[in-house]
Amino acid sequence: MFRYFENLVDPYTPYEDTDTPPQRLWPFLWAYSQPFKRWFVVAAVLSIVVATVEVGLIHYMGRVVDILSTGEPEQVWQEYGWELIGIALFILVLRPLFQALDVLVLNNGLMPNFGTLIRWRAHRHVLRQSVSWFEDDFAGRIANRIMQTPPAANEAMFQIFDAMTFALAYLVGAAVLLAEADARLVVPLLLWFGLYGLLLHWTITRVGPASKAASDARSEVTGRVVDSYSNIHSVKMFAHHDRELDYAREAIENTRITFRKEMRIYTVMDISLNVLNGWLIVGVVGWCVALWVQGTASVGVVAAATALTLRLNAMTGWIMWAVSSFFRNLGVVAEGMETIAQPIGLTDVPGAPDLNLTEGRIAFEEVSHHYGRGAGGLDRLSLSIEPGEKVGLIGRSGAGKSTLVKLLLRFYDPESGCILIDGQDVTRVSQESLRRQIGMVQQDTALLHRSIAENILYGRPEASEAEMIAAAERAAADGFIADLTDQEGNSGYEARVGERGVKLSGGQRQRIALARVILKDAPILVLDEATSALDSEVEAAIQDTLYGVMEGKTVIAIAHRLSTIARMDRILVLDEGHIVEQGSHSDLLAKGGLYASFWKRQSGGFIGLSPEGQAAE
């Protein structure tokens, strides 16, 4: 039974991706609600049915009082016995059935799937964002919004069908019941409802902004705390324990202040509600008693009106809390939308084909990119790299080396000019197909918090275990892998490496990254200080392997340690976004220019200080 309702909607049902999701709250929620529309209607109908049954039962309890007042018990049973038995069967069989269907649809059909669908689609959307988009925010805050938005939307949906639809139906039923007894009984109910509506309006207009502010504050706390944890080595190394506490405390205190303001609203709401409910009880029940004194209302009517009023009194706090919770959760959703509803900034052109790589020729044609600052990056750079050519890049910090590589991988789009691979503009082919053809090892290697095997197989998931181990051996990583264990008891290739690979040394991480790229075996290879974290002995051991991996590939290698690129076919010297020198190692030394000055300043193969005294990149 549960499985049937749990499978009413598939949260992973296919849908059409959009680069520009709705920016307003209700269209945003409506877009996510499409697979649930039919079942939302069913949930609303069942909620109304349950409320109608409850009002009907209270009405009938009044009738029972009147029936019991008509004569002796034997006479009452003889005249109304079958009616009472029928009502008893209805209460025992049909009423639980309606309520069971209501909670099964809501609790088992909608609740687990609606939040899952939002989380899945939100994660898919965020994962499509560009690298620069992630660089502009805290990873912790992004993750927090992905995690808190679905339960908030879930809770808002629950309040609609569990509380608000039920309450509205109940209120209408109560008005009809009272009007049936005496139309004047509806007057105090309507007056109370008007004042209740004003209180509700006062509450929700303040709860929404207050809850959004509180949610923003919580996300800020999460972002700051995760930032500290992610950089725990720096925190400990610089002895900034107290500084980090102060940094977190500032955000935590702001959270306390925003939450305190939110709670003040609820306190005013509760006090006002108690006063209003007192007027409701006195108004309706007192008027009923007055009508009974006048002989125009029966004891049953007084009993039913009293039961209804007391039930409404008990419900009003729940309804008010449900409605304010609804708007509070909408505030959380609105805050989450600031992240998960942002348009995709770097998109494929419609119908973008896959990159058809035939030779591996790369051309930069008058490429400029300054990150929107008008300076830095690349400035009208033109460069042609032949198929299979191995090119080294050097230059001071900020010369444009990393920018060139990021543009090639299309982490950014050029502000002007174009980049061609085998004559195809990289901005006109699909990003996935472009990056599948490029293998890259970065200086700051971050591994996934998964096993060694999973990290290496990330380069080519379909590779066999033997191919994976062979790649590790070529990267001189198999020796230390055999000795690895984790706290879960896994060892060797199954050992987990910790967040961003923190359980490994820098050199070990870099060798795993090299093994991953070796396994990927892409026709274009980008090396950004690929051996910088290796000691000289290990670097020498894998240097020949690395050059072997380069065979038959078009290679771009960024290096500070000039000895690692001395054997390249061509070396480019970048300065302020321009190529200022190029040629072989011996040619550039003979020129006596910038490259030669770097070579002379080297200590152990590294570029020394720039003329201005700044450390070169």
User: Would you call 345 helix, strand, or coil by DSSP?
Assistant: coil
Residue 606 scores a pLDDT above 50: no
Question: What per-residue confidence (pLDDT) applies to 494?
Answer: 92
CA dihedral 320, 321, 326, 329 (to 10 degrees): 150
d(CA 327, CA 110) in angstroms, rounded, equals 19
* Cα 444 to Cα 510: distance, rounded to the nearest angstrom: 8
Superfamily of domain 7-340: ABC transporter type 1, transmembrane domain (1.20.1560.10)
State which H helix or E strand residue 518 sits in: helix 506-520
Nearest to 407 by CA among 399, 398, 415: 415
Query: From CA 176, how far away is CA 144, in angstroms rounded?
Result: 47
What pLDDT score does 523 carry? 94
589 exposed, middle or buried (CB, 10 Å; 0-12, 13-18, 19+)? middle
Tokens 């970065």, located at residue: 442
Residues 6+ apart with CB under 8 A from 488: 496
Across 249-273, average pLDDT: 88
Nearest-angstrom CA–CA distance, 479 and 469: 11
Stretch 345-359: mean pLDDT, rounded?
91
Tens of pLDDT along 430-467?
999 999 999 988 776 778 888 999 999 999 999 999 99
Kindly state the helix (H) or strand (E) to which residue 293 belongs, with its residue range: helix 241-293
- Answer with the residue of higher pLDDT: 64 or 524: 524
CB atoms within 10 A of CB 414: 21
Residue 382: pLDDT band (50, 70, 90) is very high
Who's near 575: CB < 8 A, 6+ residues apart?
395, 396, 399, 594
Measured distance CA(489)–CA(55) in Å, rounded: 60
Contacts of 322 (CB under 8 A, 6+ apart): 159, 162, 163, 164, 167
Q: What predicted TM-score, i.e. pTM, was given to this entire model? A: 0.74
Helix axes 95-103, 37-68, angle to 10 degrees: 150
Q: Write down the domain spans for the chain.
A: 7-340, 362-601
CB atoms within 10 A of CB 1: 8
Please give the average per-residue pLDDT across 256-284, as a whole number: 85
Question: CA-CA distances (angstroms) from residue 188 to 288, 389, 509?
Answer: 11, 88, 74
pLDDT digits (tens, 9 = 90+) for 187-209: 888 888 888 888 878 887 887 78
Give one word for 363, left, alpha or beta, with left for phi > 0 and alpha for psi -120 to 50: beta
Q: Give the Cα separation of 540 and 476 in Å (integer).
A: 11
Residues 614, 616: Cα–Cα separation, whole Å: 6
pLDDT above 80 (res 59): no
Going by pLDDT thresholds of 50, 70 and 90, the confidence category of residue 538 is low
Q: DSSP state, 563?
A: G
Angular region, 417: left φ>0, alpha ψ -120 to 50, beta rest: left
Please give the CATH superfamily to which domain 362-601 belongs: P-loop containing nucleotide triphosphate hydrolases (3.40.50.300)
